[in-house]
């Protein structure tokens, strides 16, 4: 083997033959995508199907103090089995102290107030909280059991939510939104 050939191999440069092969391969890939697209497009559900989409979440394994994040309609949904202390802390807050006194609970009238109960799974299910995990400021995903109120904290610009997901400090204007949900059994929550 000549000295020149050794150097050429060492650089790892593609040879002319390799280049032609790669070019052909790319043309093939583009062709495959062009053919596959119409099929994918047909499989996409229409808007009415998407609007109806709901999910059922088994929460049997969530002990008090445990949380779960699931995805629904492309959004993170926080489900938390709150501790008695968290429920108590949320219920002790006066509405007058809230930045946003509206429940923002899709299961209640639009003007329902943000009491501890109306932010939760309701009477008898006050330990449960189900919320869309999107900060009402600019849409970051807040961190759980963090911040001054040990609720949720959005690190993007410092919004602080309490143990009922109500905005208490920072730039976010509204409480974390509560989606439509119901208990289909004691351990199963239907969202949507």
**Which residues are catalytic, by number?**
157
Determine if 76 is a binding residue for ligand FES (CB under 6 A). Answer: no
Q: Using the rule CB under 6 A, give the single segment among 44-52, 76-84, 121-129, 153-161 that binds ligand FES.
A: 153-161
Determine if 156 is a binding residue for ligand FES (CB under 6 A). Answer: yes
Of the pair 87, 176, the CB lying nearest ligand FES is at 176
Burial of 144 (0-12, 13-18, 19+ CB in 10 A): middle
The distance of closest approach from Cβ of residue 176 to ligand FES in the complex, given in angstroms and rounded to an integer, is 10
- Residue of 79, 135, 176, 178 that binds ligand FES (CB under 6 A): 135
DSSP string, 44-102: SPPHHHHHH--EEEE-TT--TTEEEEEEETTEEEEEEE--HHHHHHHHTS-GGG-S--B
Q: Which two tokens stand for residue 99?
A: 């930045």
Phi, psi dihedrals of residue 50, rounded to the nearest 5°: -65, -40
Determine if 143 is a binding residue for ligand FES (CB under 6 A). Answer: no
Residues forming contacts to ligand FES in the complex (CB under 6 A) are 135, 137-140, 154, 156-159, 170-172
């Amino acid at each position: 083997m000549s000295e020149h050939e050794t150097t050429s191999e060492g650089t790892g440069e593609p040879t002319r033959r390799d280049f032609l092969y790669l070019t052909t391969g790319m043309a093939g890939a583009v062709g495959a995508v062009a053919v596959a697209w119409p099929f994918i497009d047909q499989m996409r559900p229409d808007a009415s199907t998407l609007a109806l989409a709901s999910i059922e979440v088994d929460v049997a394994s969530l002990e008090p103090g445990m949380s779960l994040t699931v995805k629904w309609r492309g959004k993170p949904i926080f489900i938390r089995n709150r501790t008695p202390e968290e429920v108590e802390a949320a219920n002790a807050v006066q509405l007058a102290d809230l930045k946003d006194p509206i429940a923002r609970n899709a299961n209640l009238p639009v003007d329902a107030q943000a009491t501890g109960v109306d932010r939760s799974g309701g009477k008898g299910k006050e330990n449960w909280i189900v919320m869309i995990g999107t900060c009402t400021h600019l849409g970051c995903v807040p961190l759980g059991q963090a911040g001054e109120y040990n609720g949720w904290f959005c690190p993007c610009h410092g919004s602080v939510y309490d143990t009922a997901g109500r905005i208490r400090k920072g730039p976010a204007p509204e409480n974390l939104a509560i989606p439509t949900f119901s208990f289909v059994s004691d351990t199963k929550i239907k969202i949507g």
